[in-house]
Amino acid sequence: MRNYSGACALVTGGASGLGLELVRLLAADGARVLATDIHESVDPSLLPNGVDYLRLDVRSDDDWAAARTWVQSHWGHLDVLVNNAGIAVGGRIEAAGMADWDRALANNLMGVVRGCHTFTPMMKERRSGQIVNTASLAGLVHAPAMATYNATKAAVVAVSETVSHELSPFGVDVSVICPSFFRTNLASSLEGADREMEESATKLIDEAPRSAAQVAAAAFARMKAGKHVILTEPDGRVAYGAKRYARPLYDLGMKSAAKRVARGKSPQPGAMQVADRLARARAATS
């Protein structure tokens, strides 16, 4: 198990939601943490004692350069990079505009790419480190009416796998977190044209059974264990397992979800039939 005591860690999107909870867990484990977010400043009481804050817009090359300079001047190296910042975006393919795609790619994908590009040389030079990228279950399981979000998160999974292989000779581990819906402020970033689907997404986030703290705790345990693909919920593991090992059942669930979308409803209940039916099938044969 990895011990973060004394490690130097940078977390993007670290002022709220999953990012903030990971900042708290890293600090509690003894790490020196730089929390970053798009805000100019945050309430000091929000962060644990000893955690520093730096404004970082993950779309900005200048901001990433400033973050690298901060790390070099204060620590001299970086042990852990958590590329967590991202936005919620979605909608049916004919409704999501090109501006929605550009915004999703700039934040969800290129923010991760810029983070890896900025700090990989530092880690390779020391021949040690850990990069943790936040994707989503949507990067593995692709429900309808979410092409924009699914595509960016699938790309984060692909980048993480590629970089994991690429950096393994240098002692750098790479993990990718793939959570399902959980309660967070992510819905506040929705601003696309498909208001009907975005209202459904907001409801799913707000009424999710898990909190950001619960998801962070599950992710953190697997980060410490050095897991590559981190699925933080049982239903997510079942849904991904269905796609890999019970594809007809998976396709049936997605077709059910697509019918719901065609009626203007959320795709989620239909998609989650994948998990429910596979769970029942397993129970029947156990």
Active site residues: 149
For Cα atoms 235, 241, 243, give the angle at the middle one, nearest 5 degrees. Answer: 110
Dihedral Cα 197, 153, 207, 210, nearest 10 deg: 170
Residues 6+ apart with CB under 8 A from 260: 266, 267, 269, 270
Backbone angles phi, psi at 8, to 5 degrees: -100, 120
d(CA 16, CA 23): 10
Identify residue 50 by its one-letter amino acid code. Answer: G
